[in-house]
Amino acid sequence: MRNAVLAAAIGKHRNRQATALVAFADHPSFSTARKVKRGLMDPGLGGQGAITPISYQQISAIARQVGRDRALWDELSAWIDHKIARAASRKSASKRFEMDADIWNGAFYDDGEWVSWSDVEEQLRYHEWRAKYPNAIRHLIPYFQDLLALAGSHHRETGRHLDVYGVIGELFGAITYGIKLNKTYAQGADGRLGNDHVEIKTITPFKSKDQVSVKVSGNFSKLLVVKINADFEVSSRMVDRSKLPKTAKPLLRIRWSDLPKAQ
């Protein structure tokens, strides 16, 4: 309801018609869904704005029609239906009361936890990452996204960079390639990919040159270079050590442009 009131206030201030969308779980066990069916959720806020209800199921159905990955949305729709069905099966009167009260805030109760639209969005992100990177270590995705967002917002606010880009690069390697990261300060490479030891190097947004330095003495068979550009967009390129240039120096400098592009 807070968003509906806010929409009405903004509409009045700008002399425009305001409309607030209310997402809800559509099931006959939920009082909010019953109110929608009876047309009781469009009071108009005194003529200044309208509340337009739309169910989670309707949102996913629209996405299935217009989305590029139909299979992904089919799977997400099934997940939503399963969550709502489990929530509806709860027979406790107290839980039904809490559930109905919180539907207005875009959440419903499911087996001891609140499920909100942000949970659905997170599930969608997981599906997108899994479709793009089938070997991804999925539970690391939130840490990667939060760290990257924090680094970007901190730089925009202060003009300074946090010392987290190495960790972001390692998490990106784990997410995109399924690299199992070694423990912090472990000797050797940064992680393993099957039988290969992988060294992960990160090109940070503030580097003047798109290149990294690698210790020749390192115990690795693959090199993953992760690049974070000035817009905090992340990409990567991996190469076998056998394809790297030979050098007698202790450090090998490798330019991003010399690495093979990801397929």
Q: Which pLDDT does position 104 carry in this prediction? A: 40
By residue range, what is the domain housing residue 235? 138-258
pTM of the model: 0.57
> Within a domain: residue 151?
yes
What CATH number is associated with residue 179? 3.40.1350
| Same domain as 123, residue 34 | yes
Backbone phi and psi for residue 40, each to the nearest 5 degrees, phi listed first: -100, 10
Query: DSSP code of 246?
Result: P
Bridge partners, 21 (sequence order): 52
| pLDDT for residue 263 is more than 70 | no
Bridge partners, 24 (sequence order): 55
- Averaged confidence pLDDT in the chain: 79
Cα of first residue to Cα of last residue in the chain, in angstroms, is 48
Nearest to 191 by CA among 202, 201, 207, 180: 180
| Same domain as 243, residue 191 | yes
Q: Which of 102, 132, 162 is at the close of a domain?
A: 132
> Within a domain: residue 26?
yes
From residue 31, give the alpha-carbon distance in Å to each of 82, 108, 165, 237.
Answer: 19, 12, 48, 52
Query: DSSP code of 91?
Result: -
Question: If you count them, how many residues does the chain have?
Answer: 263
Task: Give the strands of the sheet with 234-240, arranged side by side.
Answer: 180-181, 191-193, 196-203, 222-228, 234-240
> Within a domain: residue 263?
no
Of 106-115, 126-135, 136-145, the poorest mean pLDDT is in: 106-115
Could you report the per-residue pLDDT of 170-198, keeping only the tens digit for each?
999 998 899 999 987 666 689 999 999 99
The total number of structural domains that make up the chain: 2
Could you report the per-residue pLDDT of 64-122, keeping only the tens digit for each?
888 777 887 888 888 888 877 777 776 444 444 444 444 444 555 444 445 565 666 66
